[in-house]
Amino acid sequence: MTLVAIDLGTTNSLISVFTESGPELIPNALGDVLTPSAVGLSDKGDIIVGQAAKNRLVSHPKKTFARFKRFMGTNRDFKLGRKTYRAEDLSAMVLQSLKSDAEAYLGHEVTRAIISVPAYFNDVQRKATYAAGKIAGLKVERLINEPTAAALAYGLNSEEDENTFIVIDLGGGTFDVSILEIFDGIMEVRSSAGDAFLGGEDFTEAIVREFARQLGGPVFETLSPAALGLLRDLADKAKIELSQKEEVGVKFTHGNEQVELKLSRQTFEEISEPLIKKLRMPVQRAISDADLRAENIDRVILVGGATRMPIVRAHMTRLLKLFPEHKIDPDHVVALGAAVQAGLVDRHEALEDVVMTDVCPFTLGTEVTTEIRPGHYQSGLFQPIIERNTVIPVSRVVRNSTVVKGQTEVILRIYQGEAPRVKDNVLLGEIKIDVPKNMLEHEEIDIRFTYDVSGVLEVLVTTISTDRTERLILEGNPGSLSLDEINKRFKQLEKLKVHPRDKAENLAIISRLERAYENQLGDMRHFINQKLSEFQLILDGQKETDIENARKELSEWLEQIERTDIF
Amino acid sequence: MASIWDILGLDGPTAERKDIKRAYARKLKATRPEDDPDGFMALRQAHDQALNYAKYQAEFGDVEVNVPAETVADNTESSNTSASDQSDVEPRTIAEPPVTTIDIETISASRTTKPREPSFSETMRQRINALLSSPWKRVNKSEWDQIFSDTDLESIDNAQDFEWILIDSLLERFASDDADETQNRRNKTILTAEIATYIFDQMSWHDLRDRSIRLRHAVEFIRENLDVFNRDTYQPGDYIGDDDGDDIEDQSWPELTLYAGIVVVLYLLFKFLSAWAQGKG
C-alpha cells in the first residue's frame, strides 16, 4: 500500500508520493498541486475544500474558514452552519480532500501517510496533527519536521559530500530554522529553532492594517465581513505583486464606492519591520545551538512561500552574509522532501544509502520542588530531562525523591520549554503516583522520558522501593483530544457530505465569479450575474464538452477582470 | 561491556574528528533510528563521547600530536573567545591568519564576503571603550544610539561578537578599581538607570530564556551592577530575567524584615557601645 506524504500548511497543502523517478507532487481536481487550506459550507450544505473555499472567503465569509492550522490543539470552535468544529476537524477535511486526489491519481485506496509539521510545533500541536490524520481516516506513520523535509529535498541533489545547511522556512503561519550537516550519506539535523506564530499571513495582516489606515475611519468595525474578506484577499495579492514591482495599486469596492489603495515597497518595508525583526532571534539561536558561527555555513536554503518576499531574502543575506538558494519552488519543497521521507520509511531501493537523524527542538522536563534552606521549600522549578536539540530517538532518566518523609503520593507535571520556572513553560500533562508510606526515608522514583522519531513523548515512572512502573499517557492538556473523541469525530466526518470531487472545477469557477462580483459595481455586477446564470444553464445541460468549453471561456474572461484589481 | 570505540567499529581511541564521524556514518546505515532505537541510542552516545574526547584532546592534549584535530576547538570556542583574541592582534595584521593554524575549516571560513580591514571586533571594542571612558558620553543616549544603529550589526556573527565585546567591556569597568564594599555602589553610577535600561532593551537582555548559560550569568552579573528598570518598561506578566529569585524573596519577606531588624539592632548596639567607650576613654 502506497505511503503518501502530506504538507499540511497554514495557507496551502500538498500531497506527494515517492516513485521510481523520485518524489512527485500529486495534482488536485483542478490540476493544481497547491490546495488552499480553506474549508467551507456550500449553499446546498456540503463541505467544500480548496480553491473554491478560498474564493468563497470573500463571497461567503461566514461559512468559510482558513488559517486554522494556528489553532491546532486549542479549544477554539469554528461554526460551520449548525455544527461546530475544531481546527483538527477542519484540517481532517483538507487531508481527506488530498487523500481523494491521491486515490484518483494512483488508482487505489490510500490509508497511510506521513505528515509534515513545523519543527517548532510543540507536543500538543503534534498530537493534534496526529488526531487530524486519524479523523480523516489516515494512519499517520510518522510526522516529519518541515525544514528537515526541505533539506531532504535539497540534500538528494547535493553535489558535495560534506555540507552544512541552514534551512529558513517562512510559511504561511510558522517560522522554522534548522541547521543540518550532510556527510557520507548521513543527514543530521544539528539544531532547530523557530516561532510557531510568525508567517506570511502576518505580512498580509500588516498590509490590511495599512489599507485600513488609507481608507480612514473605524474600518474594522464598519466594513462587512465580506468587504473585509475582500480587503484581505487584495492585500495578499498586493503582497505577491510587490515581489516584482516597486509599487502596486489596488481597486477596492465597498458599498457603492470604488477606492484606489496604494502600496509602495518602501511603505511595505516600514510596516513589516517589526515582523522582520522577529526573524532574527531563531536564526541566531539555531546557529549558536549547533555550536557554529554563521560563517561556517555553506548553504542557505529558503523554504515557504513567504521567502519569496525580497525583504525577507535581503534580510537573510544581511544576517548570514551569504546569498540564499531557492532552486526548488519554495511552495513545493517540503512536500517533495516529505515524499523522500516516505521513500525512506518504505525502504525504497534508491534511498538505501541515506539516513536522516533529527532533534527535539524543545527542552522537556518536570516540575520539582527543592529545599533551599532546611525547612524552606521552593516549588515550581523546572527540571530539564531532555535538553533541546538532543538527537532523537532519545531516552533519559532522572531520579527524584519525595519532598517529605511519609508522603504517600507524588504529582508529576510534565513541561516543555526553556524557562527556569514551570509557569513560563507549556504544560503537557500530569500523573499521580502512589508511593508507600515511609516515615524513615524519602521514597525515590525514576522518571524516564523517551522521545521517539516523530517527536512524541512517553513518560515512565518507576517507584524504586516497590519496582512498580507507571506509564503516562499525556492527556492532561485541555487542548488535546482523547482517543474516544477522535473516534467519535472520525465517525461524524464520515457522515458529512463532501462536495463531489468531479464537480470541483465547476465550483471553483462559480466561486471565482462570486468573488469577482464583490469587487465590481453597477453594470459589471449585472454582467457577472448573467454569466453565473448562463453557466448554471450549461451545467444543467450536463454535456461535458459544453461545460468544459464554458469553463475555459469564463476562466479567461475572469483573468481579464481580475487583472484590473491589482495594477 | 563494549567500549565506545568498539561500538563505533574503530580499532582504538582516536582524536580525529573526521575518523569518528566516518565510522559513525558507516555504523548508522546498519543501525537506523527508526528500526533499532536502542542500538541507535547506544551508537549516538558513543559518537558524542568520542567527539568529546577528540575535543578534549584538541584543547588539552599533547599539542604536537593533536594539531590536526584543532579544528573542533576552533569552531566551537570561537564565539566565546574571538572577541578577546582579536584584541591582542594589530588591526592590520588580522587579514592574514597565522600560517600554522590554517586548515580546511578556516579556509572555508575566510571565503566570507566580509571586508577584512580593521576587523569589526577591534573597531567596536575601541568605540565601546572610548564611550565607557568618557563620563559625559557614556550617559548620552545618542552616543549609544550611534553604536546600536551600526549597519554592521545586522550580521549574526558580528552581532554575536558585539554582544561579548559589550559584556567584556562592562565587566572590565566593574573590576577596574580595587574591589571594596563601595565598589558595587560606584558601579551603579557608571551608567544612569535610563541608559542601562536602554542598553538592556537594545540587546534584548530582559528575556534570557533562550540564551546560553554563560551569557545568562554574565548578563545577570551586569544587571546586579547596574540600575536597570524592569517593571516600568515591561508589562506585568512579561518574563523578566531576574524572575528566578523573586519568589524566594516574596516567600520569605518576613525573614528579610527580621534580618534587617537584627542588623539595625546590632548597628544601634554598636553605636551605643562605641559612644560608651568614647565616653569612658
Strand partners, A193: A177
CA A121 to chain centre: 9
Q: How confident is the model at residue A364 (pLDDT cuts 50, 70, 90)?
A: very high
Give yes or no: residues A88 and A104 share one domain.
Answer: yes
Mean pLDDT across chain A, nearest whole number?
A: 89
Give yes or no: residues B8 and B112 share one domain.
Answer: yes
Measured between alpha carbons, how far is A339 from B33 in angstroms, rounded to an integer? 18
By Cβ distance, the residue of A294, A421, A453 closest to B33 is A453
Task: Tell me if A511 is assigned to some domain.
Answer: yes
Task: Tell me if B182 is assigned to some domain.
Answer: yes
Q: How confident is the model at residue A74 (pLDDT cuts 50, 70, 90)?
A: confident
CB A54 within 8 A of CB A36: yes
Residue B96 has pLDDT above 60, yes or no: no
CB A37 within 8 A of CB A13: yes
Q: In a 3-state reduction of DSSP, which class is residue A304? A: coil
Least confident of A57-66, A460-469, B168-177, B256-265: B256-265
Task: Tell me if A462 is assigned to some domain.
Answer: yes
Query: Domain containing A271 — which CATH number?
Result: 3.90.640.10
Q: In a 3-state reduction of DSSP, which class is residue A487? A: helix
CB A531 within 8 A of CB A557: yes
Give yes or no: residues A60 and A136 share one domain.
Answer: yes
Measured between alpha carbons, how far is B187 from A154 in angstroms, rounded to an integer? 53
Establish if B105 touches chain A: CB-CB under 8 angstroms: yes
In degrees, to the nearest 5, what angle opens at C-alpha B12 toward C-alphas B6 and B13? 110
Give yes or no: residues B156 and B98 share one domain.
Answer: no
CB A493 within 8 A of CB A96: yes
- What confidence score (pLDDT) does residue A304 get? 93
Residues of B in contact with A318 (CB under 8 A): 154-155
Listed in sequence order, the DSSP H helices in A389-433 are: none
Residues of B in contact with A421 (CB under 8 A): 243-244, 247
Cell numbers linked to A422: 514551570
By Cβ distance, the residue of B32, B76, B156 closest to A294 is B156
Give yes or no: residues A175 and A111 share one domain.
Answer: yes
State which H helix or E strand residue B188 sits in. Answer: helix B183-188
Residue A204 has pLDDT above 90, yes or no: yes
Its domain, for residue B123, covers 119-241
Q: Terminus-to-terminus CA distance in chain B, angstroms?
A: 79
Give yes or no: residues B20 and B35 share one domain.
Answer: yes
Cell numbers linked to A522: 453597477
Cβ contact, residue pair B160, A285, below 8 Å = no
Closest CA to A6 of A94, A142, A15: A15
What's the pLDDT tens digit per position in A237-274? 999 999 889 999 999 987 788 889 999 999 999 999 99
Least confident of A141-150, A546-555, B91-100: B91-100
Pairing of strands A457-463, A444-451: antiparallel
CB A532 within 8 A of CB A514: yes
Establish if B113 touches chain A: CB-CB under 8 angstroms: yes
CB A489 within 8 A of CB A135: yes
Give yes or no: residues A416 and A328 share one domain.
Answer: no
Give yes or no: residues B62 and B24 share one domain.
Answer: yes
- What confidence score (pLDDT) does residue B189 get? 72
* Rg (alpha carbons) of chain B, rounded to whole number: 26
Q: In a 3-state reduction of DSSP, which class is residue A409? A: strand
What's the pLDDT tens digit per position in B124-166? 999 999 998 888 888 888 999 999 998 888 899 999 899 999 9
Establish if B42 touches chain A: CB-CB under 8 angstroms: no
- What confidence score (pLDDT) does residue A23 get? 94
Pairing of strands A376-386, A409-416: unpaired
Output the CA torsion A425→A428→A434→A440 (10° steps).
-20
What's the pLDDT tens digit per position in A86-136? 999 999 999 999 999 999 999 999 999 999 999 888 888 888 999 999 999
Give yes or no: residues B204 and B150 share one domain.
Answer: yes
Give yes or no: residues B69 and B114 share one domain.
Answer: yes
Measured between alpha carbons, how far is A523 from A538 in angstroms, rounded to an integer? 23
Give yes or no: residues A355 and A366 share one domain.
Answer: no
Its domain, for residue A505, covers 501-563
Closest CA to A281 of A354, A176, A351: A176
Task: Tell me if A474 is assigned to some domain.
Answer: no
Closest CA to A11 of A311, A305, A339, A333: A305
CB A216 within 8 A of CB A205: no
Measured between alpha carbons, how far is A109 from B234 in angstroms, rounded to an integer? 56
Cβ contact, residue pair A393, B33, below 8 Å = yes
Task: Tell me if B108 is assigned to some domain.
Answer: yes
Closest CA to B70 of B22, B21, B105, B96: B105
Residue B43 has pLDDT above 70, yes or no: yes
Domain boundary among A275, A308, A327: A275
**What's the domain count of chain A?**
4
Measured between alpha carbons, how far is B248 from B253 in angstroms, rounded to an integer? 8
By Cβ distance, the residue of A284, A295, A355 closest to B112 is A295
Closest CA to A237 of A270, A276, A204: A204
Closest CA to A461 of A392, A413, A394: A413
CB A330 within 8 A of CB A324: no
Average pLDDT over residues A296-321: 93
Q: How would DSSP label each residue in A351-398?
A: GTT-EEEEEE-S-EEEEEEEEEETTEEEEEEEEEEE-TTEEESEEEEE
Give yes or no: residues A32 and A174 share one domain.
Answer: yes
Establish if A317 touches chain B: CB-CB under 8 angstroms: no
Task: Tell me if A482 is assigned to some domain.
Answer: no
Task: Tell me if A220 is assigned to some domain.
Answer: yes
Task: Tell me if B127 is assigned to some domain.
Answer: yes
Domain boundary among A258, A275, A292: A275
Give yes or no: residues A71 and A169 share one domain.
Answer: yes
Beta-carbon contacts of residue A36 (< 8 Å; ≥ 6 apart): A11, A12, A13, A50, A51, A53, A54, A66
**What's the domain count of chain B?**
3
Give yes or no: residues B21 and B109 share one domain.
Answer: yes
What's the pLDDT tens digit per position in A476-528? 455 677 888 888 888 888 888 888 887 888 888 888 888 888 888 878 888 88
Give yes or no: residues B60 and B27 share one domain.
Answer: yes
Instruction: Name the residue with cell 449548525.
Output: A82
Give yes or no: residues A262 and A317 share one domain.
Answer: no
- What confidence score (pLDDT) does residue B1 get? 63
Cβ contact, residue pair A284, B105, below 8 Å = no
Measured between alpha carbons, how far is A95 from A102 in angstroms, rounded to an integer? 10
Task: Tell me if A475 is assigned to some domain.
Answer: no
Give yes or no: residues B8 and B100 share one domain.
Answer: yes
Quick one: what percent of chain A has pLDDT higher than 90? Answer: 53
Task: Tell me if B246 is assigned to some domain.
Answer: no
Q: How confident is the model at residue B177 (pLDDT cuts 50, 70, 90)?
A: low
CB A272 within 8 A of CB A203: yes
Cell numbers linked to A259: 477606492
Long-range contact list for B229-234, CB < 8 A, 24+ apart? B229/B193, B229/B194, B229/B197, B230/B206, B233/B197, B233/B201, B233/B206, B234/B206
Q: Which of residues 264-293 of A touch B (CB under 8 A)?
A: 280-281, 283-285, 287-288, 291-293
Cβ contact, residue pair B156, A420, below 8 Å = no
CA distances for A452 relative to A347, B25, B38, B277, angstroms? 19, 20, 11, 75
Closest CA to A156 of A347, A343, A391: A343
Give yes or no: residues B237 and B262 share one domain.
Answer: no
Measured between alpha carbons, how far is A356 from A494 in angstroms, rounded to an integer? 36
Give yes or no: residues B17 and B105 share one domain.
Answer: yes
CB A14 within 8 A of CB A27: no
Give yes or no: residues A234 and A316 share one domain.
Answer: no
Query: In this predicted model, which residue has the larger pLDDT, A527 or B186?
Result: A527
Task: Tell me if A481 is assigned to some domain.
Answer: no
- What confidence score (pLDDT) does residue A509 get? 87
Give yes or no: residues B132 and B237 share one domain.
Answer: yes
Query: Domain containing A375 — which CATH number?
Result: 2.60.34.10
Measured between alpha carbons, how far is A110 from B232 in angstroms, rounded to an integer? 58
- What confidence score (pLDDT) does residue A162 get? 80
Q: How many helices (H) and strands (E) are present in chain B, helices listed first?
A: 14, 0
CB A280 within 8 A of CB A175: no
Cell numbers linked to A554: 469564463
Q: Terminus-to-terminus CA distance in chain A, angstroms?
A: 49
Task: Tell me if B74 is assigned to some domain.
Answer: yes
Establish if A294 touches chain B: CB-CB under 8 angstroms: yes
Q: In a 3-state reduction of DSSP, which class is residue A75? A: coil
By Cβ distance, the residue of B25, B44, B109 closest to A185 is B25
Cβ contact, residue pair B26, A184, below 8 Å = yes
Per residue in A170-185, is it b (16+ CB within 10 Å) or e — as a string? Answer: bbbbbbbbbbbbbbbb
Residue A172 has pLDDT above 70, yes or no: yes
Give yes or no: residues A56 and A90 share one domain.
Answer: yes
Task: Tell me if A488 is assigned to some domain.
Answer: no
The whole-model pTM stands at 0.78
Strand partners, A421: A381
Cell numbers linked to A472: 503516562
Domain boundary among B118, B134, B152: B118
Mean pLDDT across chain B, nearest whole number?
A: 72
Residue of A nearest to B243 (CA): A421
Domain boundary among A417, A439, A466: A466
Give yes or no: residues A91 and A175 share one domain.
Answer: yes
Measured between alpha carbons, how far is A339 from B207 in angstroms, rounded to an integer? 39
For B254: left if phi > 0, alpha if psi spans -120 to 50, otherwise beta; the answer is alpha
What's the pLDDT tens digit per position in B222-256? 888 887 776 444 443 444 444 444 444 444 455 56
Closest CA to A485 of A160, A244, A176, A135: A135
Give yes or no: residues A236 and A194 share one domain.
Answer: no
